[in-house]
Amino acid sequence: MDWQSASKGFKQYLMLEKSLSPNSIEAYLHDITKFKNYLLSVNDSTGPIDIKYNQLLSFTNALNGVGISATSQARIISGLRAFYKYLNLEDVISTNPTEFLELPKLARKLPEVLFADDIENMLKQIDMTRSMAHRDKAIIDTLYSCGLRVSELINMNISDVYNTDEFIRVRGKGNKERLVPIGKYALKALNLYINEVRVHIPIKSKFSDTIFLNQRGSILSRISVFNLIKLLALKAGIKKTVSPHTFRHSFATSLVEGGADLRAVQQMLGHESITTTEIYTHIDRKFLKETIALYHPRAKF
């Protein structure tokens, strides 16, 4: 089996059995290509099924040597692990050469979060005289109210909004569905956009149920949401690095600091593992320590 046929089979596996998004599949395949290109650069013509641990170790050392960050190294190694797990499952190889390949130690960086005042300041920067102003307001309110990933936001449908129950249906990673409560402010903004603005957009038939559209009637792109948030944060004078994912972190942090059950937060975020959600308990502890340092008279002793 050569690299091309192995990669083709791996792509089918990720698409059909793992139900990954096109972006995730492309990232995995890119990791395999990086490894293959490294082998070619050192005149190593070994095929995918004959790779040994030492070759993988040399590759990871090379990544470190050219200054690739620990986070990027970890992602590439995870891609190789998934590839060889697939070959093992298909009985193409009998032993997995990545079994003892270690991930680099990552410093756990706490994400930036926005507070309620930050959100209000960003909303105030929206020029409400613009035709798509209500759409932009609905985007900000929905991201903050529901803790959505940007891909989940842009793929929301009108049929996913349950107005009476104040819930929305969200399609997350692997096309897994979950129900998330939506706050009254966000629901009001969403319905105002749908009923007052969206009805005047020349909607293309394939997007007849899609909520967030551009002015040409097509689905709103991820980059458009990124640019909107970046612009509003800049206008609001927010010095933090703000992206759509910042709203997701802010949503979770607000809940944890308010005493929400971690399992409930996990379910609303659509995290497969509770360990992913636990990062927000670290943020909570950091907040408590900063509060003590600021207000306790003997905190410095």
Kindly indicate the confidence band of residue 283, based on its pLDDT and cuts at 50, 70 and 90.
low
Kindly indicate the confidence band of residue 1, based on its pLDDT and cuts at 50, 70 and 90.
confident
Average pLDDT, the chain: 88
pLDDT at 175 exceeding the cut of 60: yes
Specify the pLDDT at position 203.
96
**What is the number of other CB atoms lying within 10 angstroms of the CB of residue 173?**
16
Q: How many residues does the chain have?
A: 301
Specify the pLDDT at position 301.
43
pLDDT at 40 exceeding the cut of 90: yes
Q: Spell out the residues 6+ positions from residue 195 whose beta carbon is closer than 8 angstroms to its own.
A: none
Question: What spatial distance separates the first Cα and last Cα of the chain, rounded to whole Å?
Answer: 66
3-state SS, 178-200, equals EEEECCHHHHHHHHHHHHHCHHH
Among the ranges 171-175, 184-188, 271-275, 288-292, which has the highest mean pLDDT value?
Answer: 184-188
Q: Which amino acid is at 138?
A: A
Fold type of domain 3-89? DNA polymerase; domain 1 (1.10.150)
Active site residues: 149, 173, 245, 248, 271, 280
Specify the pLDDT at position 110.
63
Specify the pLDDT at position 211.
97
**What is the number of other CB atoms lying within 10 angstroms of the CB of residue 155?**
18
Domain 116-293 has CATH 3.30.70.20: no
Q: Which residue has the higher pLDDT, 29 or 294?
A: 29
Per-residue pLDDT averaged across 75-96, rounded? 92
The answer to whether the beta carbons of residues 229 and 240 sit under 8 Å apart is no
Structure letter (DSSP) for residue 95: S
pLDDT at 299 exceeding the cut of 90: no
pTM over 0.85: no
Specify the pLDDT at position 254.
83
- Sorted by where each begins, the domain ranges of the chain are 3-89, 116-293
Question: Looking at 7-16, 233-242, 284-293, which range is the least confident one?
Answer: 284-293
Kindly indicate the confidence band of residue 293, based on its pLDDT and cuts at 50, 70 and 90.
low
Q: Which two tokens stand for residue 11?
A: 């792509």
